[in-house]
């Protein structure tokens, strides 16, 4: 049972926060996910009791019993969203209830308790209000918010945990990729799969990412930044990049992206881009996209643009695809026109530079 959902979070101020100079140094050149703010939000869940203890506490290590279930069976889910500083100093986030609802779906899949979306959003709001000075103001910078929930019960038998904790931490960030919005090279993974029918592919759970680390190492060894996964049943259709969705733009102006049919993460950025494309009357279709279509299209010129999308990466052009026995460049390898134009429109909305006609923004400060 969840009582007082969306209620006030009490604040325990950090007795040793960063100095202004230390914080300003972090905000001047934020890397992705390296530095964290002075506080974190937390809530606790116990079977039979529900959620309690809405608090913002000093950021710091979490004490866990070595038998805590998450350490053994990876019963964990997380989310990613951002807070953006507008030029008038106000701070906003983007579609937080969409993240909250996906968090609930992920929790259900991992037999974790659902957190009321109002508590999810209140935890984010409370943290950003306390740590508002940490929201950077530079071009393409933001405060990345990472809500997560995990099983803490000390029990090594296999069953859903009766003790769970939820936290939100925050990190000032710039571009996800070190090269900014420069086109990335993608490794086409054929040896391993990220998800299969009936699996956890649609859930944002740590296990999906753990299983993808080995392929990421292979990608790095081949000079690529990310991995493109193929469907586990036929090995012929492109699915997603593990941490991002993918979309293809063809030379006839149409756009295609794989459908979210259980093995692909239902990206919040993905759905916003589909909306922005539809607003432009672009013929955009969610359908299976074969690797052959992408590779042959890159060779023939029928594939005009390919891009990755997600909260962290926003929209990142894919310049080339590489596999054990092939390499293709997408168009001239540079950022595509439609990719950069929609990216511009999306970030203009997020940073308050154009009207928010879909009512996507949610004020935090
Ligand atoms: C995001 O885009 O927020 C992601 O979750 C990608 C990655 C940082 C895990």
| Residues 204, 107 share a domain | no
Question: Could you tell me if 121 and 11 lie in one domain?
Answer: yes
Residues 101 and 217 in one domain: no
The answer, yes or no, to whether any atom of ligand 1 lies below 6 A from the CB of 173, is no
Domain final residue, candidates 104, 139, 174: 174
Ordered per-residue pLDDT tens for the chain, 365 residues: 344 688 889 999 999 999 999 999 999 999 899 999 999 999 999 999 999 999 999 999 999 999 999 999 999 999 999 999 999 999 999 999 999 999 999 999 999 999 999 999 999 999 999 999 999 999 999 999 999 999 999 999 999 999 999 999 999 999 898 888 899 999 999 999 999 999 999 999 999 999 999 999 999 999 999 999 999 999 999 999 988 999 999 999 999 999 998 999 999 999 999 999 999 999 999 999 999 999 999 999 999 999 999 999 999 999 999 999 999 999 999 999 999 999 999 999 999 999 999 999 999 99
Using an 8 Å Cβ cutoff, are 132 and 96 in contact? no
DSSP label at residue 116: P
Query: Of the candidates 249, 230, 237, which has an alpha carbon nearest to the alpha carbon of residue 188?
Result: 230
For residues 159 and 208, membership in a common domain is answered with no
Pocket test for ligand 1, best of 194, 313, 314, 346 (most atoms within 8 A of CB): 313
* Domain-ending residue, one of 137, 155, 174: 174
- In a shared domain, residues 94 and 240: no
Q: Which is it for strands 81-85 and 76-78: parallel, antiparallel or unpaired?
A: unpaired
Which CA distances in Å does 327 have to 184, 188, 250, 321? 13, 10, 19, 6
Does a structural domain hold residue 332?
Answer: yes
* DSSP secondary structure of 45-60: EETTTEEEEEEEEE--
Of 225, 280, 228, nearest in space to 254 by CA: 280
Specify if 364 maps to a domain. Answer: no
State whether residue 351 is helix, strand or coil: coil
What 3-state class would DSSP assign to 205? coil
Please state the pTM of the whole predicted model. Answer: 0.96
Residues 157, 192: one domain?
Answer: no
Domain coverage including residue 98: 2-174
Q: Is 80 in the pocket of ligand 1 (CB under 6 A)?
A: yes
Q: Is 358 a domain residue?
A: no
294 and 237 within one domain: yes
Task: Establish whether residue 203 lines the binding site of ligand 1, counting it when its CB lies within 6 angstroms of any ligand atom.
Answer: no
Cβ 311 under 6 angstroms from ligand 1: yes
Q: Give yes or no: residues 10 and 155 share one domain.
A: yes
Q: Is 142 in the pocket of ligand 1 (CB under 6 A)?
A: no
Reduced to 3 states (helix: H, G, I; strand: E, B; else coil), residue 90 is: coil
C-alpha dihedral sign at 286, 287, 288, 293: negative
Which residue has the CA at smallest separation from atom 5 of ligand 1? 80
For residue 189, count CB atoms less than 10 angstroms from its CB and return exposed for 0-12, middle for 13-18, buried for 19 or more.
buried
């Amino acid at each position: 049972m969840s009582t007082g959902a969306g209620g006030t979070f009490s604040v325990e101020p950090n007795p040793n926060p960063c100095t202004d100079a230390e914080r300003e140094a972090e905000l001047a050149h934020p890397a992705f996910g390296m530095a964290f703010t002075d506080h974190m939000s937390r809530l606790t869940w116990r079977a039979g009791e529900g959620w309690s203890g809405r608090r913002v506490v000093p950021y710091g290590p979490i004490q866990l019993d070595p038998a805590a279930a998450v350490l053994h069976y990876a019963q964990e889910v997380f989310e990613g969203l951002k807070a953006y500083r507008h030029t008038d100093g106000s701070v906003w986030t983007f579609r937080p209830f969409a993240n909250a609802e996906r968090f609930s779906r992920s929790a259900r899949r991992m037999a974790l308790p659902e957190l009321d979306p109002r508590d999810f959003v209140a935890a984010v709001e409370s943290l950003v209000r306390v740590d508002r000075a940490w929201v950077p103001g530079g071009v393409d910078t933001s405060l990345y918010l990472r809500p997560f929930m995990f099983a803490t019960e000390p029990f090594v038998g296999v069953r859903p945990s009766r003790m769970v904790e939820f936290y939100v931490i925050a990190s000032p960030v710039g571009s996800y990729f070190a090269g900014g919005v420069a086109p990335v090279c993608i490794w086409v993974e054929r040896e391993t799969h990220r998800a299969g029918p009936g699996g956890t592919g649609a859930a944002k759970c740590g296990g999906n990412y753990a299983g993808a680390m080995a392929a990421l190492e292979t990608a790095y060894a081949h000079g690529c930044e990310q991995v493109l996964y193929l469907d586990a049943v036929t090995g012929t259709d492109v699915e997603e990049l593990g941490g991002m969705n993918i979309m293809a733009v063809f030379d006839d102006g149409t756009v295609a992206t794989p459908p979210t049919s259980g093995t692909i993460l239902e990206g919040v950025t993905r759905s916003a881009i589909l909306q922005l494309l539809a607003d432009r009357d672009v013929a955009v279709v969610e359908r299976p996209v074969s690797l052959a279509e992408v590779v042959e299209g890159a060779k023939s010129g029928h594939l005009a643009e390919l891009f990755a999308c997600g909260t962290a990466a926003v929209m990142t052009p894919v310049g080339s695809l590489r596999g054990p026995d092939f390499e293709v460049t997408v168009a001239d390898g540079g950022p595509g026109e439609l990719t950069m134009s929609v990216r511009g429109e999306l970030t203009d909305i997020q940073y308050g530079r154009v009207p928010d006609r879909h009512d996507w923004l949610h004020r935090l400060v």
